[in-house]
Amino acid sequence: MEKAKKYLLLMITIALFGEIYFYPLHSSLRISAGIIALNLIILLVDDVSEFSIAILAAVAVFLLRNSTGMYFSNLSLIAAASYNLPSAVYYLVYGFLTFFLGVRKHRDQLLPTIVLMTSVDSLSNITEALIRDKLINYQMLQVIVLVGLARSIAAYFIYSLYKNQELFILNREHQNRYGQLNVLIADIQAEMFYLRKSMDDIEQVMSKSYKLYEKYKDHADLQEDTLDIAREVHEIKKDYHRVLGGFESFLKNFEDGGTMTLKDMQNIIKENTHRYLSTHQKDITIQFYFDDDFRLIKYYNLFTVLNNLIINAIDASSDSGFIEVTEHSNHDHIFFAVKDHGEGIDEDIMPYIFNPGFTTKYDVHTGKSSTGIGLSHVKNILETLGGNITVTPNTEKGVSFVLSIPKQSLIG
């Protein structure tokens, strides 16, 4: 039923466009726009048979022109039918030749498609002219070929615009998904930091349990209990190790051999930041000033660091404000800075902001604090890259986080 509706809509469209026509170069040859519509349908709509839609178009054009001829020109049914029958034959010939020559198979090749469509258009027009008993001289043949070429170019131009727009939309969607994937990877890396910390805690608990086991050798019941604790903790450790190993393997598949330009990372961070601002309904302006465009090898690490700092800057700002992200480099190092104009950080807590678990963020509804791993995770990543981070209060208000990373760590 749906396919029948589609065919009906397409044949009506072709018939209506078929009523838009002109006589080129003051010739007696009538040229309509219906064939442009038919060409576009053949090029764009894959589940429609070329010959089937041409037959339906021939019927629709024949019926519509008969109706308009009888109503507006007071023609008899026989007169109208005899006058419009060659037009219907034109569409039938066009559909057969298009199907036979396989125009649709060559649609992604500009020159072959235009040559084929021009040839089909010209042969169909010649057939119609012969049926109408028109004398086909050299001048008329020139007009037929030129009109066929013009209609073919027009149809292919519209087809190309459509495909380019479609490709643009697909690329845009791909870019959005790619940005979301980078955010996901950054979030996983942050959680992995917490998992690694838990692994260290589990190791300490196991060590303490074993020491208790050694200490209470003379107390069989107590020794058995401590041994049970050690076994259970060991099982927890194995589960943690399996989960952590799975995440590390997942990230390794993305990071091995992968590179990204600094400009691409900037665009992804921009997209992510705009989504975050929109979700939290904040009117904050963020400006990026990057002097370089290196190709990065450990881009997920850098993305995680910058993303954390920018989100922190947004959270520290009011509903409106200004954040500045800059980059410059010298011979050995790349420097990044994230500067906000928010509430700032009190001097008495400044020494503790990079400690794991430290946080000043609390949920206004539940009163629960955040995990407090953001800045400690940032510092941990920078240390693995051989870099460092410093924080200084701004002259007026807010703070600036400045990163220094060896070039060798980021660009090889």
Mean predicted lDDT score pLDDT of the chain: 81
pLDDT reported for residue 219: 76
What is the pLDDT, as a whole number, of residue 356? 67
Tens digits of per-residue pLDDT, 280-318? 888 888 999 999 988 888 777 888 888 889 888 888 887
Give helix then strand counts, H and E, for the chain.
11, 9
Rounded Cα gap, residues 53 and 64, in angstroms: 16
Q: How far apart are the first and last CA of the chain?
A: 61
pLDDT in the model for residue 56: 92
Name the more confident of 285 and 234: 285
Percentage of the chain modeled with pLDDT above 90: 19
* Identity of the residue numbered 319: D
Say if residue 209's pLDDT is above 80: no
Record the pTM.
0.50
- Residue at token pair 């709509």: 45
Q: Does residue 73 have a pLDDT over 70?
A: yes
Q: How far apart are alpha carbons 302 and 410 in whole angstroms? A: 8
Residue 248, both tokens:
């590390």
The C-alpha atoms of residue 35 and residue 376 are separated, in whole angstroms, by: 67
**Lowest mean pLDDT segment, chosen from 66-75, 226-235, 355-364, 382-391:** 355-364
Q: What is the DSSP letter of 33?
A: S
Q: Give yes or no for residue 361 having a pLDDT over 90.
A: no
**337: confidence class by pLDDT, cuts 50, 70, 90:** very high
Q: How confident is the model at residue 371 (pLDDT cuts 50, 70, 90)?
A: very low
DSSP string, 300-326: HHHHHHHHHHHHHHHHHS-SEEEEEEE
Average pLDDT over residues 135-148: 84
Q: Are strands 399-406 and 320-329 parallel, antiparallel or unpaired?
A: unpaired
Express the helix, strand and coil content of the chain in percent, nearest 5 each: 65, 10, 20
